[in-house]
Structures are given as C-alpha cells and as structure tokens.
C-alpha cells in the first residue's frame, strides 16, 4: 500500500508514500489529517533528485511529514492513475517537483509549492497548512524548523569562556536567537560554543547577554575542542541513547535541569523508542553525539 524506503527511487527521499489518491483522501478523513501530495518526476532530473535528498530525506523532516500528513506521491511522468490525478490538478507532466497540501476533499489548503526547492520553503507551507486547520504547532515541529535553519539558514558561531561550561550550555540556549550550545575547551579554559540565527540576533547582542550571564569574551578560539560529554545533562540520562538533532540536543539538555518536559522536542518514533528502552545493552551509549543522519540508520 505504501512505498518501501529501502527500495524506492531517490527522488522520493526517505518518506514512505501512499500511491492511491482515493485511499489517501479516505485516510485523511479517517485520521483528520491533510494530504501532502508530491508531484514528482521519477526517475527524474537533477532538481528532482536534489529535492528528494535535501527536503525529503532529513530524518526529522520525514517524521514530520509522516506524522502530521497523509503522504501521497504522484509520478508526473507515468500514465494510468498518476496521469488522472495530474489532470485533476492541472499539473504539467515531466515537471520539476510540486507539493500541494489538500484536505480530505482534495481541495488546496495553501498555495502549491513550485519552483522553490529549499527544505525551509517546504517546512513553511507545512506549518501554514496546519495553522489554517487549527492544529497546534508542537515543540517538536518548531524544533524541526530550527534544525533546518541550522542546516540551510543564516547562522554564525561564537565561543565564550565560562566558569562552568555545563551551566554555560543551559544559560546560552535560553536566548531566543541561539540554536545550539556545546561544552568545550580552548586551552585550559572551559568554554561554550554557540550557534545562532543571524536573523534573530547578532554577535554584539549575544556578547552583552553572555557578559550579563557572567561569561567572558575570548580573543582567540584557536584549538577549540569539544568536551568528552557535551550536553552534560543528556549524557547522564537515557536520552543519550537517542539519535538527536543538534537543536534537539541543546533544548533537551536545558529542559532536564529546569524540570521542563524534554519529550516535547521528540518525534513520535523517538518518543516511542525512549519510552520502551528497557535493556540498553548493545545500544550505542552516546548515540546523541553522532550526526543524526548517521545514527538514524540504526534506529529501530
């Protein structure tokens, strides 16, 4: 009924897609979810391939599509039922990727996405559609947005000396423009490395914030090295067994000592895994430190 991610074309990314339009609408009605229709050339051009790799393969983006939508793939270079759906929406054949988000009656909820292939543009129409439907934008979904900003947006790094890099991690992440924090060393100095969204803040503003928090500016960041246990609070919890994005790591690491709910930043799959850890023998103990694209491959 759905495509198999291990055998499907790269143009489809890592999302498991329905291929039956009528059934997708029925599922949308049954589950009260919108349908995410991908009109894609399969096999396709370089643009189609890149869209599959960049927008449709990042693990947390895949989770978002599969959990909040009914994913349906329509091949724009195939006859039969695909061609019928193409004509229904007046979509051209042999075209670059187009995304439409529709309700259970097949009506557009937002303007179709075409000629824009960035993962952030795709995220934006997904969030807009859910807001129009009155859905609550979860902490996880907001985190996915910021993970994409970290990968594709305008970001910058800065490093501060801190009396304690563990508290440095949790203090700096509270600034609205900060995406990630990481404990490390410059020589014998404890430091915290910060990645921030330049559209929300600046180095000058962060410097003032850091000084106010009791940190110190550094003249040089040469020979920076990450600590053996970055995100200290995660490293002492069962969250360390999870594959996590960098933004997830920073937010969960802050949530633990502040008695917030870290699970608000997890996807359904991550949460199910965490709640059913049981015996952790054989599970990589510091999975959280590995790039999520790598650690997700072994995520069961």
Q: Give a yes or no: residue 27 inside a domain.
A: yes
If asked whether residues 257 and 126 sit together in one domain, one would say no
Q: What is the pLDDT of residues 123-134, one digit of tens each?
A: 999 999 999 999
Instruction: Give the single-character DSSP code of 112.
Output: P
C-alpha 108/C-alpha 97 separation (Å) is: 17
If asked whether residues 63 and 161 sit together in one domain, one would say no
The CATH number assigned to the domain holding 65 equals 3.40.30.10
Given 134, 162, 181, the domain boundary residue is 134
If asked whether residues 126 and 86 sit together in one domain, one would say yes
Q: Which residues contact 144 (CB under 8 A, 6 or more apart)?
A: 60, 61, 63, 64, 123, 245
Q: What is the number of structural domains in the chain?
A: 2
DSSP sequence for 236-286:
TSGGGGS---HHHHHHHHHHTTTT--GGGGS-HHHHHHHHT----TTS-TT
Residue 279 has pLDDT above 90, yes or no: no
Given 98, 115, 134, the domain boundary residue is 134
If asked whether residues 153 and 296 sit together in one domain, one would say yes
If asked whether residues 234 and 296 sit together in one domain, one would say yes
If asked whether residues 172 and 281 sit together in one domain, one would say yes
If asked whether residues 220 and 269 sit together in one domain, one would say yes
If asked whether residues 152 and 120 sit together in one domain, one would say no
- Backbone dihedral region for residue 94 (phi beyond 0: left; psi -120 to 50: alpha; all else: beta): left
If asked whether residues 119 and 162 sit together in one domain, one would say no
Looking at residue 109, its pLDDT comes to 98
Looking at residue 153, its pLDDT comes to 94
User: Rounded to whole angstroms, what are the CA distances from 143 to 133, 179, 247, 249?
Assistant: 20, 9, 7, 10
Helices (H) and strands (E) in the chain, counts: 12, 9
If asked whether residues 126 and 187 sit together in one domain, one would say no
Q: What percent of the chain has pLDDT over 90?
A: 88
Domain of residue 232 covers 138-300
Q: Are 222 and 242 in contact (CB under 8 A)?
A: no
Q: What is the pLDDT of residues 196-226, one digit of tens each?
A: 999 999 999 999 999 999 999 998 889 999 9
Q: Give a yes or no: residue 1 inside a domain.
A: no
Q: Tell me the whole-structure pTM to 2 decimals.
A: 0.93
C-alpha 237/C-alpha 207 separation (Å) is: 31
If asked whether residues 129 and 246 sit together in one domain, one would say no
The predicted model gives 223-243 an average pLDDT of: 94
C-alpha 12/C-alpha 26 separation (Å) is: 22
If asked whether residues 15 and 110 sit together in one domain, one would say yes
Q: Give a yes or no: residue 5 inside a domain.
A: no
């Amino acid at each position: 009924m759905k495509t198999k991610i291990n055998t499907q074309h790269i143009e489809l990314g890592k999302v498991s897609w329905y291929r039956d339009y009528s059934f997708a609408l029925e599922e949308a009605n049954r589950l009260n979810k919108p349908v995410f229709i991908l009109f894609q050339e399969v096999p396709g051009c370089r643009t189609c391939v890149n869209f599959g790799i960049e927008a449709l393969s990042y693990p947390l983006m895949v989770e978002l599509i599969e959990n909040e939508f009914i994913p349906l793939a329509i091949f724009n270079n195939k006859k039969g039922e695909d061609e019928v759906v193409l004509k229904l929406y007046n979509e051209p054949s042999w075209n670059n990727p187009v995304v439409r988000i529709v309700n259970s009656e097949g009506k557009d909820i937002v303007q179709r996405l075409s000629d824009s292939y960035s993962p952030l543009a795709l995220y934006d129409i997904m969030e807009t559609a859910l807001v129009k439907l009155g859905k609550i934008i979860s902490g996880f979904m907001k985190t996915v947005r910021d993970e994409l900003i970290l990968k594709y947006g305008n970001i910058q790094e800065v490093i501060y000396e801190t009396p304690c890099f563990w508290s440095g991690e949790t203090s700096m992440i509270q600034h609205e423009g900060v995406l990630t924090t990481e404990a490390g060393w410059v020589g014998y100095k404890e430091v915290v490395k910060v990645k921030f969204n330049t559209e929300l803040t600046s180095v000058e503003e962060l410097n003032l914030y850091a000084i106010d928090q009791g940190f110190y500016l550094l003249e040089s960041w040469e020979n920076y090295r990450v600590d053996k246990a970055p995100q200290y609070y995660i490293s002492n919890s069962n969250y360390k067994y999870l594959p996590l994005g960098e933004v997830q790591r920073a937010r969960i690491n802050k949530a633990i000592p502040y008695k917030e709910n870290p699970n608000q930043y997890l996807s359904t799959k991550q949460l199910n895994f965490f709640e059913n850890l049981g015996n952790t023998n054989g599970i990589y103990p510091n999975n959280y430190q590995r790039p999520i694209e790598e650690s997700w491959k072994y995520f069961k």
